[in-house]
Amino acid sequence: RNGDGRAVLRSSVREFLCSEAMHYLGIPTSRAASLVVSDDDVWRDQFYNGNIKKERGAIVLRLAKSWFRIGSLEILAHSGELDLQRRLLDFIIQEHFPSIAMNDSNRYLEFFSTVVSETANLIALWMSVGFAHGVCNTDNFSLLSITIDYGPFGFMDSYDPNFVPNTSDDEKRYKVGNQANVGLFNLSKLLQALKPLLDPRQKQLASQILEGYGDHYYIRFTELFKTKLGLLGENEDDNYLIAFLLKVSLLS
């Protein structure tokens, strides 16, 4: 895409501060360890209006338990490297999913089930603080369900489902109100990548697991907003109050 792959100082500072803020908000995320300013000049059109200016470059050192993403498995499946994909998946499970036994014939199914539920939890947490990721493609979705990319992102000042922090997202594919749906889309791509490693019964079960994503997300979203409102127990009017809260914020 003719990009130079460099970051400018202003976006690096934002990335450093936001990832730390997300951590202390209790949202799974990569952490910023250091920020180094470069002497190299970087040319950027900050507002995409044709006004290119020279800016100072910078590098953020980020830390995470793992940088494996849905795209890490997707690319191997796409190229037909199934042996390498199986080895990588076994490594990921052994290193980062200790509750899954490596001798379990259903380990890939258990892995997928965990990623589905934890992805739903992560996006519900994003929504609970008004965080819009900005670039929710499969290469920016962690297999450990942590927030790993802070390119174009933003926080809503008031609730707006059409809020888009990425000025290059003309189609509003990653608008904040679509994040849960994009999560489902990315998980469907993960399932597609895993299917060559599953038997017919496991494929059927995996499809059922994916169908349960919406329920996982809705339950977690509701729990988080009930906590915000101080609602205890279960009441049929809870969902109405949550919707009313968001509507009031939208109109404010």
* DSSP structure string for the chain: ------EEHHHHHHHHHHHHHHHHTT--B-EEEEEEEEEEEEEE-TTSSS--EEEEEEEEEEE-S---BHHHHHHHHHTT-HHHHHHHHHHHHHHH-TTS-TT-TTHHHHHHHHHHHHHHHHHHHHHHTTEE-S--SGGGSBTT--B---SS-EE-SS--TT----TT-TT-TT-GGGHHHHHHHHHHHHHHHHGGGS-HHHHHHHHHHHHTHHHHHHHHHHHHHHHHHT--S--TTHHHHHHHHHHHHHH-
Higher pLDDT pick, 4 / 18: 18
- As annotated, the active-site residues are 139
Q: How confident is the model at residue 251 (pLDDT cuts 50, 70, 90)?
A: low
Instruction: Give 116-168 pLDDT, tens digit per residue.
Output: 999 999 999 999 999 999 999 999 999 999 999 998 899 998 889 999 998 88
pLDDT higher than 60, residue 2: yes
Distance CA(182)–CA(104), nearest Å, equals 30
Q: What integer pLDDT is reported at residue 63 of this predicted model?
A: 96
Domain residue limits, the chain: 7-63, 70-227
Instruction: In whole angstroms, give the CA distance from residue 124 to residue 237.
Output: 20
Q: What is the pLDDT of residue 170?
A: 86
> Residue 234: its pLDDT value, please?
85
Answering whether pTM is above 0.75, one says yes
Q: Is the pLDDT of residue 250 over 80?
A: no
Residue 252 has pLDDT above 60, yes or no: no
Measured in whole angstroms, the distance separating CA 106 from the mean position of its chain's CA atoms is 25
